[in-house]
Amino acid sequence: MTIKVGDTIPEATLMKLTDKGPAPIKTSELFKGRKVAVFALPGAFTPTCSNQHLPGFIQKADEFKAKGVDEIVCLSVNDAFVMGAWGQQQGADGKVTMLGDGNGDLTKAMGLDFDGSGFGMGTRSLRYSMLVEDGVVKSLNQEPNPGEAKVSGAEHLLAEI
């Protein structure tokens, strides 16, 4: 069943690359008492993700902060090393937190996964954005066309805040 507005984000452990290597971050800690803009995508370094989705959130980071967003999180079913390298290559440092859901645990628990085996990608995340306040989903924008980042893009989510 797919998560919806009003639902609480399930408990899961995500991974962030730090100077000391991958560090676990529990969703309960990430969202507690905070306003977080989350966007998820099928994979790091893929064309739409690299050319449209992530750059939009990097470019609009200050506008999100101005609207009271504590953190912008990019989530993908990739490992922390890949997410860290991609974030560095894209200039996300200090603007967007790159988190890996390596096993897809959170993605599956929210019902936002798909089978990308036909493309050699295994289980992946659907493309979406959401606003989460104190662990509760306030808005959810699932992209109808996975090759685009319009409904799930930064401008659309900003307009909802």
Q: Which residue is listed with tokens 């994979």?
A: 43
Distance between CA atoms of residues 40 and 161, nearest Å: 18
Tokens of 123: 């289980």
Three-state SS for 44?
coil
Q: Give catalytic residue positions.
A: 49
Tokens of 135: 């662990």
Tokens of 124: 């992946």
Determine how many CB atoms are found less than 10 A away from the CB of residue 110: 24
Q: Is 132 left (phi over 0), alpha (psi -120 to 50) or beta?
A: beta
